[in-house]
Structure 1
Amino acid sequence: MTGEDTSARDQLLAATIDHVAQHGLADTSLRSLAAAIGTSHRMLIYHFGSKEGLLVEVVRAVEARQRETLDALRANEADSLADVMRLLWRDVSDPSRWPHERLFFEMYGRALQGRPGTEPLLEGVVEPWLDKAAQVGARHGLDPQTTRARARLGVATVRGLLLDLLATGDRAGVDRAMEEFISFYE
């Protein structure tokens, strides 16, 4: 891909991310999505291969943004690990993120079922989070031998509570459960 193609691809991806955040996705066709973001379905196919390929890239980009948020949170060494966890939870569970979270779970489920075009999502859906979370844990003095296991537990807990929040809407109950989990790190 040329630099110009990469720029066009990045612009289309950013427009799709914004569209999904504002309108959700539901069963939007590639043609209607393309029209909504001011392009053609052919350009989306050219850059992403398929609707599934585009959605996988949307999920990956949103996940990368969330990991960047974690980087920004951990940059403040004065915060305790519990404070970093609270700030990250507040960010990822914000209602403005719900369309992206719904898309994440939808695409994750499709990938687990082996739906064509979605399998690439499984590559890197856990490890980058483990790496970031382990770095945060190590920075806050967690034992290096258990940090990665605790990072996996943290990723699983956050994802599980996000799924609970999206399914039930029980903000108070989910926040209480997250506080209980965080208390193990205080």
Structure 2
Amino acid sequence: MSGSAERDRLLDLVAEHVLAHGTSGQSLSGIARAVGSNNRMLLYYFGGKEDLLDEACQRAVRSFPAVAQALGHVHVEPDLCTGLGKAWLDITEPANLPFLRLFFERYGSALRDPAENAGYLDRMALTGWPTELADELLARGVEASGARRAGLEIVALWRGLQLALLAGADRDELTAVHDAAAGRLVRELAGRNTVAPQS
């Protein structure tokens, strides 16, 4: 087996492990035992425990295609509110709750040591989905600073409501809250004449 194939195999196993058992309290040696490997091999392929957990959480999303592909709705729907609403519904499908629990557990763990997890936190808070949404808004005619703020606001809205969902709030009620907030944001952008007319 090639080195890249073995790396992928180990990453798949670690992703399955953290989905089942979470990331809190996981030691590198414990992860290695769980996937039939050893510390040396995991360090060779992934550089360190935090990098391994980061990649494993990214790999885990492959088991939840509705999450991985959610932003596609924003790109293809002519109406921005409709696209945001469909993305929210995809992300919060009941089948996706195991991934959302893992995501927020990993996020919380990373916040305990921000220096060690700087790249991960930057991607979660400032780049990643916020940047992808900002790029879409730019393409729709929103000026750069407004697009950046709106991208951050949308992701903040989603994550806050996802936490409420995981805590037991009613999904239908949260969807109504989401749609109202997303509608206000889109109207605000349109009111500043920063959204291009929809085709």
| Residue in 1 that maps onto 2:54 | 56
Distance 1:145 1:40, change over 3 A: closer
Identity of aligned residues (%): 28
Normalising by structure 2, we get a TM-score of 0.71
Larger C-alpha radius of gyration, 1 or 2?
2
Residue 182 of structure 2: aligned partner: 182
Describe the superposition over 1:23-63 as per-residue Cα deviations: whole angstroms up to 9, x where unpaired: 352666656655665x3244434323454332221234457
Q: How does 1:97-136 map to 2 (within 5 A)?
A: 97-114=96-113, 118-125=117-124, 126-136=126-136
Quote the Cα distance in structure 2 between the aligned partners of 1:6 and 1:123. 26
2:165–2:174 CA contact under 8 A, matched in 1:
yes
> What value does the CA root-mean-square deviation take over the aligned residues?
3.3
Aligned residues of 1:110 and 1:118 also touching (Cα < 8 A): no
Shift, 1:4, TM fit: 2.9
Query: Residue by residue, what CA displacement relative to the aligned partner does 1:157-176 show, whole Å, maximum 9, x if unpaired?
Result: 11111111112343233222
Q: What letter is aligned with 1:129?
A: W
Structure 2 counterpart of 1:88: 87
- Between the two proteins, the alignment pairs up a number of residues equal to 181
Structure 1 stretches lacking a partner, 5+ long: none
CA shift in 2, pair 1:13/1:114, >3 Å? same
- Give TM-score scaled by structure 1 length: 0.75
1:34-45 equivalences under 5 Å are 37=35, 39-42=36-39, 43-45=41-43
Rounded to whole Å, the distance in 1 between the matches of 2:138 and 2:67 is 16
Give CA deviations for 1:89-127 in whole Å, capped at 9, x if unaligned: 122212222222222222222222217854442232221
Q: CA deviation at 1:131?
A: 1.5
For 1:137 and 1:62, the matched residues in 2 are separated by 28
| Matched position secondary structure for 2:69 | helix
Cα distance change, pair 19–49 in 1 and its aligned pair in 2 (3 A): same
Letter in 2 for 1:123: D
Structure 2: stretches of 5+ with no match in the other structure = 188-199
